[in-house]
């Protein structure tokens, strides 16, 4: 329980404590509305920032996808999108908080209206003691003036008629003064009793108001703090991703995605003889060392394309004017080495 400060500090000669406390209660509504405006403005700022971050993420996604560095833009895009989401989540929380504050403002207005009705009698007591106090002050001045006038006439030796006349006025002033003293005493007692009760009521209202405002501020601070934690996590994740994205991994990714193949061009071969055309024709020739035979001539050589045959040999029992040919085995690979086995020799490299 808070010390009853209001009960001890809002009295004074003019009895204006009630007016000060009542207007202080009304200022609580103004504070609540201003806090609502502040939270709303913060929400607008956060939403604008989130939209800007979303736009920035799209910009990062539209940057050039060419080059070794291109995959790194995905890190920027993903991190920026997460930051935008963090700020939009804060906007959502602030909007919910604004609804709670609006609800409190409405409840506060109803409570103040009820309090105004409850302290109406105190207001009357304040007005009564203020008016009675003023009347008491005037009656006191009149009493003093009339008494002094009566004594002056006596000392100056005025006629008895004038002295008696002044005495009647002084007596009447005395009675009026005494009556206001009694009225003021009653008004004072009533005022003090009601003012003490009302001061406690006003302090209870202010205590509840301040505690409720602190709860709103705690909710606001918690929402902002949670957002800062999320932003920190997103940033730490971005830092880890950057550290894990090594130069080697970027170069490897480019090689795997843009590579043109791992097979290198085959080694060239020199093929002896004629007929080496567009399809690397394979020359099939007669055996060597038949110099004494007349039917062996240069024209007896035959050229066979790679597309025509793989193995050529003389059928069994056939009669020919040329020496029998040995079988030819041809193995061809487009990009690797070419191996050709031919009877009596091998290709020259």
* Same-domain status, 212 and 93: yes
Q: Is residue 22 one of the residues assigned to a domain?
A: yes
* Same-domain status, 194 and 249: yes
* Same-domain status, 210 and 270: no
Q: Is residue 59 one of the residues assigned to a domain?
A: yes
What pLDDT, on the 0 to 100 scale, is given for residue 22? 95
* Same-domain status, 270 and 197: no
Residue 284 · residue 304 · CB < 8 Å: yes
Q: Is residue 115 one of the residues assigned to a domain?
A: yes
d(CA 28, CA 206): 8
Q: List the CATH number of the domain containing 153.
A: 1.20.1270.60
* Same-domain status, 333 and 198: no
What pLDDT, on the 0 to 100 scale, is given for residue 215? 96
Q: Is residue 259 one of the residues assigned to a domain?
A: no
Q: Is residue 185 one of the residues assigned to a domain?
A: yes
Q: Is residue 127 one of the residues assigned to a domain?
A: yes
Q: Which long-range contacts (CB under 8 A, 24 or more apart) does 144-150 make?
A: 145/173, 146/170, 146/172, 146/173, 146/174, 147/173, 147/174
Range of the domain at 321: 264-289+297-349
Report percent pLDDT > 70 for the chain: 78
Q: Is residue 237 one of the residues assigned to a domain?
A: yes
* Same-domain status, 320 and 182: no
* Same-domain status, 216 and 343: no
Helix or strand (DSSP H, E) at 330: strand 328-331
Residue 18 · residue 192 · CB < 8 Å: no
* Same-domain status, 67 and 141: yes
* Same-domain status, 232 and 315: no
Provide the domain count of the chain: 2
DSSP class of residue 348 equals: B
DSSP class of residue 270 equals: B
Q: Is residue 30 one of the residues assigned to a domain?
A: yes
d(CA 309, CA 247): 52
* Same-domain status, 232 and 270: no
Last residue of one domain, picked from the residues 254, 279, 309: 254
Packed helices 120-156 and 17-61: angle between N→C axes, nearest 10 degrees = 140
What pLDDT, on the 0 to 100 scale, is given for residue 274? 53
* Same-domain status, 224 and 284: no
Helix extents (H) in 245-291 = 247-258
* Same-domain status, 201 and 304: no
What pLDDT, on the 0 to 100 scale, is given for residue 271? 73
pTM for the structure as a whole: 0.66
HSE at residue 333, side-chain half, CA atoms within 13 A, is 11
pLDDT < 50: residue spans in the chain:
275-315, 318-349
């Amino acid at each position: 329980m808070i010390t009853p400060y209001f009960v001890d500090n809002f009295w004074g000669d003019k009895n204006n404590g009630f007016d000060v406390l009542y207007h202080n209660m009304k200022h609580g509504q103004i504070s609540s509305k201003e806090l609502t405006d502040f939270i709303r403005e913060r929400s607008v700022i956060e939403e604008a920032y989130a939209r800007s971050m979303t736009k920035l993420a799209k910009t990062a996604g539209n940057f050039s996808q060419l080059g070794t560095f291109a995959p790194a833009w995905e890190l920027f895009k993903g991190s920026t999108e997460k930051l935008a989401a963090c700020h939009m989540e804060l906007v959502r929380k602030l909007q919910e908080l604004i609804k709670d504050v609006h609800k409190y403002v409405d409840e506060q207005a109803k409570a103040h209206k009820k309090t105004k009705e409850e302290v109406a009698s105190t207001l009357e007591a304040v007005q009564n003691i203020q008016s009675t106090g003023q009347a008491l002050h005037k009656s006191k001045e009149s009493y003093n003036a009339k008494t002094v006038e009566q004594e002056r006439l006596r000392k100056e030796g005025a006629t008895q008629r004038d002295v008696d006349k002044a005495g009647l006025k002084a007596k009447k002033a005395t009675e009026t003064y005494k009556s206001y003293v009694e009225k003021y005493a009653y008004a004072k007692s009533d005022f003090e009793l009601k003012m003490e009760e009302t001061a406690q009521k006003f302090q209870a209202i202010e205590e509840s108001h301040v505690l409720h405002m602190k709860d709103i501020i705690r909710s606001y601070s918690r929402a902002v703090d949670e957002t800062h934690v999320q932003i920190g996590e997103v940033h730490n994740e971005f830092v880890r991703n950057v550290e894990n994205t090594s130069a080697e991994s970027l170069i490897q990714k480019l090689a795997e995605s843009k590579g043109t193949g791992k097979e290198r061009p085959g080694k060239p071969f020199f093929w002896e003889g004629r007929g080496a055309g567009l399809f690397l024709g394979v020359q099939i020739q007669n055996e060597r060392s038949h110099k004494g035979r007349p039917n062996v001539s240069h024209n007896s050589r035959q050229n066979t394309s790679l597309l025509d045959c793989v193995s050529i040999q003389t059928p069994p029992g056939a009669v020919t004017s040329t020496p029998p040919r040995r079988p030819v085995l041809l193995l061809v690979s487009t990009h690797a080495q070419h191996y050709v086995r031919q009877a009596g020799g091998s290709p020259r490299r």
